[in-house]
Amino acid sequence: MAPVSDKERHYLKKWESNRKRRWRYITTNGILWSLPVAIISYCWRIDFTISALNMSDAAVYLAVFLPGGIFYQYWMFRGQERRYQEVRRQLD
């Protein structure tokens, strides 16, 4: 096994605090990811014109992108957790 680098040790410290707050991490990052994506994709759809703005359509975009963002962050959390476990095994 390769020795654990300083960068990986820093990752371990950072991830240990994040993994304790799993659902907070997932929902916060999911919302922070999905809101800009929903807004940009909606604005792109209406060609950035104010006259085409429709709040019910915007609400549909948010209703689709928010759960999508939370699912995406759940998937990312699992990947980060796997990486964390691999680095921990290298330390042992």
- Per-residue pLDDT reduced to its tens digit, 1-39: 567 788 988 999 999 999 999 999 999 999 999 999 999
* Amino acid 63: pLDDT: 93
Instruction: Give, in order, the Cα–Cα distances in Å from 87 to each of 10, 25, 64, 73.
Output: 11, 20, 35, 21
Place of tokens 């699992």: 78
pLDDT at 51 over 80: no
- pTM assigned to the model: 0.79
